[in-house]
Amino acid sequence: MQLLNYCKTVNSLSFFGMIMLFYEDENKCRDLFFDILVYCNIVFYRDMDIQQIKYFLALADELHFWNTASKMNITQSALSRQIQSLENELGVLLFYRDKRNVSLTPSGKFLQEKWNRELNRLDSFHHIAKQLHLGELGTIKIAYPDSISSSFIPNLLKRILEQYPNLKIELVQLPYQLQEQYLQENKIELLFSRDVCQSSIIEQRKLDSERLAFVVYEDHDFTSIRDITKESLSNQRLILATESHSSSYNEIINTILDSYEIDPNLYVQCDFGSTIIALVQSRIGISILPISYQYNQYKGVRFIPLSTTTDLYVQWKKDNPNPILKNIFTLI
């Protein structure tokens, strides 16, 4: 910070002279001098602006005042004044001039190389900033249920990345109890859920409905919905999602069980469908899941469709400032 304040107050040539006291090699001294100015964010000094530097670089390429002025859409006299003002600000001669020729001085050649590189970097920074502002670049975190991992999610990501190939997408799976909290704390930007959210600060939109299904291991006695009765179901060990009084999805499951007038024998509770199916494959019990799990092409299990449906919602925090959200909503 002391160096920064010093650089802002002392004459640039005096500062250059101080560096020369420590370095005998004038080329190394020039490089260090310029890099220090870049680091201190005073590359453009006090009155100098980027447009002046662009005029200088254009003239350094053309080495002809009239051609350069025509290219930059200014008069030749205006260009000459801009170059002279730049030289006065820097305290160095940038061009040798006579009536016939224009050529770069050693200082001009040095600054041509340095400023070309820095302006290219600046243009790159501006482009990145604009992409971030437009939601074409950056990171978005999306949480989703297991049931859409082989159907909806791959199709959505394909559409997003075709339209916005520079986005970084982080996919996470959360237990029901954490979903709303993560949205409110901006730990995720987008949530796909089978539960209706009651929070006043969360927006949601219904996307789809699909049937639920009993999931049984391959050689289970249940082969169709006719095999499932109050008596036959009461003898089964059920593997279902973790109980939550506020979960609308669990309410639907409980409604199905109530229709069979049974008190479920819950052997295992789990919030992750792929784990539930693995337990069914291991003959630990049977389950009720969205039928879209069948798109995962699990082996060793069968799906017996029910008439009952479950909804899929997309949810997001009302005041989430991430500009990527607006772009993604057009693709959902």
Q: For 221-248, what is each residue's pLDDT tens digit?
A: 999 999 999 999 988 999 988 776 578 8
Q: CA 327, 331, 332: angle at the middle one, nearest 5?
A: 115
Q: At what angle do helices 76-90 and 50-62 cross, to 10 degrees?
A: 110
Q: Provide the token pair at 12.
A: 């640039």
Contact (CB, 8 A) for 188 and 176: no
Region 291-312: mean pLDDT is 93
The pLDDT score that the predictor gives to residue 324 is 92
Considering only residues 117 and 11, tell me which one the structure prediction assigns the higher pLDDT. Answer: 117
- Given a cut of 50, whether residue 140 has pLDDT beyond it is yes
Region 37-55: mean pLDDT is 62
The pLDDT score that the predictor gives to residue 1 is 40
User: Where residue 13 falls among pLDDT bands split at 50, 70, 90?
Assistant: very low
Region 186-193: mean pLDDT is 94
Q: Which residue has the tokens 């500009």?
A: 323
Contact (CB, 8 A) for 311 and 208: yes
User: Where residue 287 falls among pLDDT bands split at 50, 70, 90?
Assistant: very high
Q: CA 201, 205, 210: angle at the middle one, nearest 5?
A: 135
User: Where residue 176 falls among pLDDT bands split at 50, 70, 90?
Assistant: confident
User: Where residue 20 falls among pLDDT bands split at 50, 70, 90?
Assistant: very low
Q: Do the bridges between strand 301-317 and strand 202-217 make them parallel or antiparallel, or are there none, so unpaired?
A: antiparallel
What percentage of the chain exceeds 90 in pLDDT?
A: 58
Phi, psi of 216 (to 5 degrees): -130, 160
The pLDDT score that the predictor gives to residue 24 is 53
Region 262-266: mean pLDDT is 76
User: Where residue 35 falls among pLDDT bands split at 50, 70, 90?
Assistant: low
SS3 215: strand
| pTM (2 d.p.) | 0.67
Q: Do the bridges between strand 202-217 and strand 266-269 make them parallel or antiparallel, or are there none, so unpaired?
A: unpaired
Among 308, 328, 330, 316, which Cα is nearest to 209's? 308
Strands (E), the chain: 95-97, 102-104, 138-143, 167-172, 190-193, 202-217, 238-240, 266-269, 287-290, 301-317
Q: Is 244 exposed, middle or buried (0-12, 13-18, 19+ CB in 10 A)?
A: middle
Neighbours of 38 (CB within 10 A): 14
Please tell me the distance from the alpha carbon of residue 192 to that of residue 178, in angstroms, as a whole number: 13
User: Where residue 198 falls among pLDDT bands split at 50, 70, 90?
Assistant: confident
SS3 204: strand
Please tell me the distance from the alpha carbon of residue 152 to that of residue 313, in angstroms, as a whole number: 12
> pLDDT tens for residues 52-77?
999 999 999 999 999 999 999 999 99
Region 172-181: mean pLDDT is 88
SS3 88: helix
